[in-house]
Structure 1
Amino acid sequence: MSGLAGKKRYLVLAMRTARFSEEAIAPHLAFLDALRSEGKLEMTGGFSDGSGGAYVLSVGSLEEAQVLAGADPLATSDASVLTVYEWNTR
């Protein structure tokens, strides 16, 4: 994990709820851009079926990843349910 000393990867699944609105997308993308500029976001993308998406965080702990995901506008607006998994990658 070059450049990731002391960091682990966490997969964040964001699944849309019945309260999802397209208005949640712009704040979510701005949130992801901020994480990327801080060096905490590796990749992101939506699912082709429109049910949600996922992103990969590189941070120091599961707790930190959960706090970050909880601050995502998709979560704070109840537009999506976000679940964080520690991800063992090769």
Structure 2
Amino acid sequence: MNRYLVLVMRNPGFDTGLVGAHRDFLAALRAQQRIELSGGFGDASGGAYLLRAESFDEARAIAERDPLHRERASSVTVYEWNAA
């Protein structure tokens, strides 16, 4: 599997009520051993996680299932990461 860095940045009018669903989404990925690291930014502008997937398209499809993305509370950007 390849690694992908997923940035999840809050949009204006961010709904904090979606944070629980987002955490549940990440917990499910963690249980599938798809996430290596995750966490929020200190300035509360968003967060990131390191996702394992077979392809960029699969990684993007997974990231776009995040409730924060589906509800347009955050924008999601996926980067292929060649970590050393």
Task: Give the TM-score normalised by the residue count of structure 1.
Answer: 0.91
RMSD (CA atoms):
0.6
1:59, distance to aligned residue in structure 2 (A): 1.1
The number of equivalent residue pairs is 84
Residue 11 of structure 1: aligned partner: 5
Gaps of 5+ in 1: 1-6
Give 5+ residue unaligned stretches, structure 2. none
Q: Does 1:67 align with 2:69?
A: no
Q: How far is the alpha carbon of 1:13 from its aligned partner?
A: 0.3
Contact between 1:19 and 1:78, CA under 8 Å: does it hold in 2? no
Match of 1:76 in 2: 70
**Number of the residue aligned with 2:15:** 21
Instruction: Tell me whether 1:86 sits opposite 2:74 in the alignment.
Output: no
What SS does the aligned partner of 1:53 have?
strand
Tell me how far 1:87 sits from its aligned partner. Answer: 0.3
